[in-house]
Structure 1
Amino acid sequence: MKLVIIILAIIFVVACAGVKARSDGGYVLTQNVVYKTIDSQPLAGDMYIPESTGLRPAVVVVHGGGWTNRSGDMAGISRRLAKVGFAVFNITYRLAPEDRHPAQVEDVSAALEWLYTNAEQYQIDSTRISGWGYSAGAHLILLAGLDRQRPPYLKSIVAGGTPADLTAWPNSPLVLKLLGKPLAGAEAEWQDASPVNHVTRQSPPVFLYHGQWDALVEPEQMAMMKTALDEKGVSAKTYTVKFLGHIATYALASGAEQQGMKFISEQSK
């Protein structure tokens, strides 16, 4: 019996050590790094640190899930970014409807500030921090990064399947869960929660990608975001993923991800 207990204890310790930190394909993964605590609730992210030495660029990665869950955990793109030399902070944030806008944007901003403050610890070049998000995550990283008035300034943003103008969905249950108020009578709040209204001439370069057959977040949203960026003279590129919808673009759009990684690498030089 004692032997069984000892063996189980060893397995538990090894398992916990594996969750805390492990080497995987040229980077070290440390899970559940807390960047903020709200009412005793820790908000954390997974940190991917390349094994190479010297200062490195970084990317804050933000998951989707309709602001209500983490259905897209962004682990795949986080691994791929780490393998090409980026430090990656793949974060969680408070979810709707328990927490309404702007709680989610505040959390993403706090994660950016935390990474900026702790850059030296992870050998990160604080002048080369970028953002990447898909769906709700794209919406949040754009809101957090387009019109920041103080450091950290994002070097660039990659946004896929972006809900750019929330007023396009006045009857959306997901948007209503996020904002807590219908469009009628709260139009100013809906406008403020829309990335198209937060572009400034100082906004960082943006790469947008979107599924051609996206029926959840229509491709017109990418066009509206591109127009808003163009009107302010912000460098922006778009990439249409042929024959894929919203979820499939997240899961299968390797070509878009490669172009996004190329874009973010060029901006990080």
Structure 2
Amino acid sequence: MKIIIFSVAILFIAACAGIKLKSDGHRYLENVEYNVVDAQSLTGDLYVPNTSGLKPAVVVVHGGGWTSRSGDMEGVSKKLLRAGFVVFNIRYRLAPEHRHPAQVEDVSAALAWLYENADTYQVDRQHISGWGYSAGAHLILMAGLNRQQPPFLSSIVAGGTPADLSAWPNSPLVYKLIGKGMSEAGAEWQNASPVNHVSRNSPPVFLYHGELDSLVEIEQMAYMEKALRDKNVPVETYTVKFLGHIATYVLAFGAEQRAIQFSLEHITEKADI
């Protein structure tokens, strides 16, 4: 009877803390607050693998055209968890209510929170990476390419990336993000483009993109690759054959597997330095 009562108490405490206890032994913590801005709580879901010792970590950033959370990144997060990463799958403020650079600031705040709370979740501070798709790829690149404070990322994985916003001068989504058209705010559009934030100290980047992407054309991957190579930043690309933007998010299994391996490889390389 005492064992039953104790077990029920543990389950009650876990539920109150937003922790899901799974049979695989991993911990799932929902709605973990990483910042508060203008009375708005910013949260993410934390996945902690059932392994001992310090663990690498990844901050995962969803897409949705900066205006919604249409891609929740749960599938990628679970794959990273099974590969041994602590995963922080975050939410951020959305346009048009919140304009650039609010979203980049939120991603940076999430990276800083994970770094500051590394001991609590057995995260290796030297091995924190980033992963995003679509708008999320744009944001993790903006937050991670030229960081001026820790964590300095081990690597970045970016899928379906809007790399150079000036390619869409009439885009309603970019207009919602910036709040002004390119004709009147060209400098702001350029400043909000990841291709313009690469430095020689940027982390290695893995880019993947659907061959038939008509929302974010595959040329965007080439633009980002060139910007990285021009600064001698390690970069690898992966073209997902026969798929468009949404299908690549859903079905890019080979790309995701290679991206996870890329992240693990660059953790090892960083450790050897």
Q: Residues of 2 paired with 1:266 and 1:147: CA distance?
A: 21
Q: Match for residue 46 of structure 1? A: 45
Q: Residues of 2 paired with 1:18 and 1:110: CA distance?
A: 25
Report sequence identity in percent: 65
Q: Match for residue 168 of structure 1? A: 167
Spell out the pairing of 1:7-22 with structure 2 (5 A cutoff): 17=15, 20-22=18-20
Q: Match for residue 90 of structure 1? A: 89
SS in 2 for 1:268: helix
Q: Residues of 2 paired with 1:236 and 1:19: CA distance?
A: 40
Q: Match for residue 237 of structure 2? A: 238
Q: Residues of 1 paired with 2:28 and 2:225: CA distance?
A: 34
SS in 1 for 2:140: helix
Q: How far off its partner does 1:144 sit?
A: 0.1
Spell out the pairing of 1:146-165 with structure 2 (5 A cutoff): 146-165=145-164
Q: Match for residue 70 of structure 1? A: 69
Q: Residues of 1 paired with 2:209 and 2:146: CA distance?
A: 23
Q: How far off its partner does 1:18 sit?
A: 8.3
Q: How far off its partner does 1:26 sit?
A: 4.4
Q: How far off its partner does 1:23 sit?
A: 3.1
Spell out the pairing of 1:196-235 with structure 2 (5 A cutoff): 196-235=195-234
Unaligned runs of at least 5 residues, structure 2:
1-7, 269-273
SS in 1 for 2:20: strand
Q: Residues of 1 paired with 2:49 and 2:124: CA distance?
A: 13
Equivalenced residue count is 258
Spell out the pairing of 1:106-145 with structure 2 (5 A cutoff): 106-145=105-144
Task: Show CA shifts across 1:123-152 (max 9, x none).
Answer: 000000000000000000000000011211
Q: Residues of 2 paired with 1:229 and 1:26: CA distance?
A: 39
Structure 2: which amino acid aligns with 1:169?
W
Structure 1: which amino acid aligns with 2:60?
V
Unaligned runs of at least 5 residues, structure 1:
1-9
SS in 1 for 2:57: strand
Q: Residues of 2 paired with 1:181 and 1:226: CA distance?
A: 27
Q: Match for residue 7 of structure 1? A: none
Q: TM-score, normalised by structure 2?
A: 0.92
